[in-house]
Structure 1
Amino acid sequence: MTTQKPLFSGSIVALVTPMDNHGNIDFETLKKLIEFHIDAGTNSIVSVGTTGESATLSIEENVKVIEKTVELAKGRIPIIAGTGANATSEAIVMTKLLRDSGVAGCLSVVPYYNKPTQEGMFQHFKAIAECTDLPQLLYNVPGRTGSDMKPETVARLSQIENIVGIKEATGDLTRITAIKELAGKDFIVLSGDDATGLEAMKLGAEGVISVTNNLAAKDMAEMCR
């Protein structure tokens, strides 16, 4: 595993995907949101994560929003692409489509609804990682997916070179310590739970991928610094 800490640390926004009253992507507002976060000192943007409507956008819309976010950012802030899906094949398609997009890496959620076993999760993320050279961040949020990826499974996945970290959103602070101990000090752990984000960083998390950041960007950036 190659460390990517400078890219994946600090205050990271799980950016909303703005839409107009007809359900079309509002790219003008997207531009304003990107400028808002650059001005506020946000460290990175997650484009089309679960907060960005990843489960409801088509693959075409998903990729288009991410590519436009990279274009509008103009290299001033790293963009992390939300490429997760409950179908392994779909996650692989999106990951491949973004290969040359300029994203810093991909964030891929534990398959939702399917309730895979720990071995199933391992094979899912292994297959995605093997289809690309892009750095991969795992995303564990059992409250949304119905499945909980255990620290032991994360540790197995950390041995795959381009799986560099995890967004851990259980809110269970003991997970931060357990993953650090099992996956090694170079494996990036990011809190995905705003309420416990500060405490997670005190325990060694590198930052927070935050929903609150959509509104309180300056405050989140200052807290993470």
Structure 2
Amino acid sequence: MRLSGSITALATPFDTTGALDRAAWKRLVESQIAAGTQGLVVAGSTGEAATLEDDEYEWLVTSAVAIAAGRVPVLAGTGMSATSKTIAATRRLAELGADAALVVVPPYVRPTQAGLVAHYRAVADACELPIVLYNVPGRTGTDMQAETVAALATHPRIVGIKEAHDGVERMQALLALKSDAFAVLSGDDPTAARAMLAGADGVISVVSNLVPGAFRQLCDLARGGKADAAHALDARLQPLHRFSGIEPNPIPVKAVLARQGFGHGLRLPLTTLAEANSAQADDAARLAADLETSSRARAA
């Protein structure tokens, strides 16, 4: 399996009671695929995985797999603080029919780099599902170094990395590891165009929840080496990137998704967007609508 292009880290819609909004979820998944999204991530941090019950997680995965029906790959988060729990979750994900597991650096426990190598090799050795590494130091407390990724990239079941570190040197070091068997994906929306123009295979994006068509176009332009056009579109997207960071993810993106008709809120300990930021959410929703209108017109 080769992952590339615009991959959305899906938010999980809830209804006014806090339950899964199953109808909104199905519409979100289908609308993403229809707009050109090239892969879906279920139950990552944007999907509020930490708040999901086991049966909810399984329903989200199986429904996404059924809706996608092979049109795009479906990944899901299985990373836990303990290696044994990560293995169990990844094995269960394989039974649910997903195409790959997105395995975050173990949060909170802060392993050494040697511990990370041992952790990921143990998961990959014990599971049949392809593994995508996920480095997001701001959430986990540990930064997986490029040398550690190099030690893992040759494993036959480790097929790529989502790198959320925004440094130019980090991305350059990872791009040296890219091969037909190992994909390098940006996990940082504001710098994704830069990464793809430098050779990254694609992006696992938060903001593409709101503008899937525009993000597909950005990926096509950047991966096609059309720098001027990619920079121009990226400049139009930057206000959405800034808004998405105004409060912790996925609070801002879910405020705009609610305005688009996909769900109503979040689960504690996350709370809805502060009233002081409501006007900015309205602006973001209008910009998202304009960008999607433009992307559809260009596609036509």
Between 1 and 2, higher relative CO (CA 8 Å, sep ≥ 6) is seen in 1
Point out where structure 1 has 5 or more consecutive residues left out of the alignment.
none
Relative distance call for 1:77 and 1:185 in structure 2 (3 A) is closer
1:85, CA displacement in angstroms?
1.4
1:104, CA displacement in angstroms?
1.5
Q: Please point out which of 16, 25, 33 is paired with 1:30.
A: 25
1:184, CA displacement in angstroms?
4.5
The aligned amino acid for 1:185 is S
Match in the other structure for 1:13: 8
Residue deviations 1:84-124, cap 9 Å, x none?
11222221111111223321211010011111110111111
The aligned amino acid for 1:65 is L
Map 1:88-99; keep pairs closer than 5 Å. 88-99=83-94
Match in the other structure for 2:79: 84
Please give the alpha-carbon distance, in whole angstroms, between the structure 2 residues aligned to 1:23 and 1:87.
Answer: 28
1:69, CA displacement in angstroms?
1.3
Match in the other structure for 1:167: 162
1:133 equivalent in alignment to 2:128: yes
Please give the alpha-carbon distance, in whole angstroms, between the structure 2 residues aligned to 1:69 and 1:190.
Answer: 21
1:210 equivalent in alignment to 2:205: yes
* Higher-helix-fraction structure: 2
Relative distance call for 1:90 and 1:60 in structure 2 (3 A) is farther
Please give the alpha-carbon distance, in whole angstroms, between the structure 1 residues aligned to 2:167 and 2:184.
Answer: 13
Please give the alpha-carbon distance, in whole angstroms, between the structure 1 residues aligned to 2:56 and 2:194.
Answer: 36
Point out where structure 2 has 5 or more consecutive residues left out of the alignment.
221-300
3-state secondary structure, aligned to 1:177:
helix
- What's the % identity of the aligned pairs? 47
Map 1:67-216; keep pairs closer than 5 Å. 67-181=62-176, 183-186=177-180, 187-216=182-211
Higher radius of gyration, 1 or 2 = 2
Q: Please point out which of 43, 46, 52 is paired with 1:48.
A: 43
Please give the alpha-carbon distance, in whole angstroms, between the structure 2 residues aligned to 1:11 and 1:97.
Answer: 26
Please give the alpha-carbon distance, in whole angstroms, between the structure 1 residues aligned to 2:156 and 2:72.
Answer: 24
Please give the alpha-carbon distance, in whole angstroms, between the structure 2 residues aligned to 1:129 and 1:22.
Answer: 39
How large is the Cα RMSD of the aligned pairs?
1.3
1:30, CA displacement in angstroms?
0.7
1:201, CA displacement in angstroms?
0.4
Check whether the contact 1:110–1:147 (CA below 8 A) recurs between aligned residues. yes
Please give the alpha-carbon distance, in whole angstroms, between the structure 2 residues aligned to 1:184 and 1:208.
Answer: 14
